[in-house]
Amino acid sequence: MRIGIVGLGLIGGSFARAYSEGGHEVLALEKNPAVLERAREAGAVEAVLTKENAPDCDLILACVYPAAAVGFLREFGPAFGSHPLVIDCCGTKRGVVEQGRAAAKEFGFTYLGGHPMAGTQFSGFDYSRADLYRGAPMVIVPPEGAGEELLARVRTVLAPVGFAGITVTTAEEHDRIIAFTSQLAHVVSNAYVKSPAAQVHKGFSAGSYRDLTRVAWLNPEMWAELFLDNRDYLISEIDTLIHHLEEYRNDLEAGDRDHLIRLLYDGKRRKEELDGE
């Protein structure tokens, strides 16, 4: 297959490495010439993605920030033609999908929203790896009325990457759930390390500290854009968390051991129900 990738950060770079290692031709568009050159030297990319060769791609993945993804779809849209599947890989879906569908309708190409559910706390091509998506889910937001034939094509072109499966959803549902599963976790982690105690944690911390602070090491520009794109759902999740934190604080202030135990049991029970064996 011929694969086009826009953006060679952690996400796009990992796609490039995975497809290249699988023997597929990878074309890439990257605003930083030095990053593109490193990708070519690493054997992850063969050539530059252009408006001339884009129509020959089987799959084009836009692995950039939401606003940049929309800009790419509108700029390259007239050149795509009917052959490639064009999928954005942005962390929010409502705004991108709305504008992506409009561009697809205007220019006649096949577009789907997407979100690979994998990553690390680090960003950039240098941290990309071919096995990043192996065993992870891929979320797909298909066009309205899309049938199984289109989803079968999606599974085929994504198969070399090694996803465990594809989750089909709507843009609205994606953004509602991702506010909890991803965005809230980044907000909490980033706020948690602002405690004065964080300055003297060494020698007093282990797994709990590492687990809770891993994603505090984030890309501020990217996450700010994602948070603002999804502000309604994220604010709701933050408000819910604050409400529950106040319950714990109130029990501590009142010295209410029995109710505090009930709160802790309730959280433990919910975790067991959600993720227990």
pLDDT at 73: 97
pLDDT at 265: 94
CB contact set of 76 (below 8 Å; sequence gap of 6+):
51, 54, 60
The reply to whether the predicted model has a pTM over 0.85 is: yes
Residue 275, pLDDT above cutoff 90? no
Q: For 44-57, how does the pLDDT look when each residue is reduced to its tens digit (9 = 90+)?
A: 999 999 999 999 99
Q: For 151-178, how does the pLDDT look when each residue is reduced to its tens digit (9 = 90+)?
A: 999 999 999 999 999 999 999 999 999 9
* Residue type present at position 245: L
Q: For 101-139, how does the pLDDT look when each residue is reduced to its tens digit (9 = 90+)?
A: 999 999 999 999 999 998 777 789 999 999 999 999 999
Long-range Cβ contact pairs of 206-212 (< 8 A, separation 24 or more): 212/188
- State how far Cα 250 lies from the chain centre: 36
Q: Provide φ and ψ at 165, rounded to 5°.
A: 180, 175
Residue 16 or residue 209, greater confidence: 16
| Mean predicted confidence (pLDDT) in 192-210 | 76
Region of residue 11 (left: phi > 0; alpha: psi -120 to 50; beta: else): alpha
